Amino acid sequence: MWTINDFPAYGNLSGYSTKGEKACPVCGVDTCSKWLTHSRKCVYMNHRRFLAHNHPFRGKARWFDGTIECGRKPRILTGSEVFQVVKNFNNDWGKAKKKENPAENAKCKLLNWIGTSEIVGIGEIASTDPNSLVHHVPLGHECWKVWVNDVMDDNVALYRPTREFFLLREALGTTIAWPIKYIKLC
């Protein structure tokens, strides 16, 4: 199967970087590049070195960048040489994974936040991220988002009541914000 692509698509398909100062897949480390300060771009020079040694364009300094081309084209690498270049390359495919917080998804006991510190419910940590939302309100740094799985005391008020829930028993089966210092991991 064949496909015709432009240079950026070549980079996407092959995995080779087609940007930066060493972007030429033929020249590799011998790529002749120059940074243009005002346009903030990298340009690739000296492509006249691929022409025959006696080609008239090699001597046309004024037509190109003001230099006469005397260089030789780079030698094409063999398969063994390419292998030597890439054999120690380590590719971590995809995006880096977030480090998992050991507290997330952990079973926990909810302690009474009013002051008695008795166990008033059983839950599971849903999130420790302060930017996580609980009923459309950001969690903040002093709370964790907790799934309420069981309630021991029917009359305990929520730390952050909502329009739907005022008591812990009303929030059974949903997530709530609960103060970190009143959560005990199981």
* Domains of the chain, residue spans: 8-83, 107-185
Q: According to the model, what pLDDT value does residue 137 have?
A: 87
Distance (Å, whole) CA 45 – CA 26: 14
Residue 179: its H or E element:
strand 175-179
Q: What is the DSSP letter of 47?
A: G
pLDDT score, position 144: 92
Residue reference for tokens 């790529």: 31
Q: E-strand spans in 2-151?
A: 33-36, 41-44, 107-111, 119-127, 133-134, 137-138, 143-151
Helix and strand numbers (H, E) in the chain are 2, 9
| Mean per-residue pLDDT pooled into runs of 10, the chain (186 residues) | 79 76 78 85 84 91 88 85 82 69 84 88 92 88 92 90 89 92 91
The structure's pTM equals 0.47
Q: How far apart are CA 120 and CA 97, in angstroms?
A: 35
Confidence at residue 176, expressed as pLDDT on a 0 to 100 scale: 93
Q: How far apart are CA 49 and CA 55, in angstroms?
A: 10
Exposed, middle or buried by CB within 10 Å (0-12, 13-18, 19+), for 104? middle
Mapped onto helix, strand or coil, the DSSP state of residue 126 is: strand
- What is the per-residue pLDDT for 20? 80
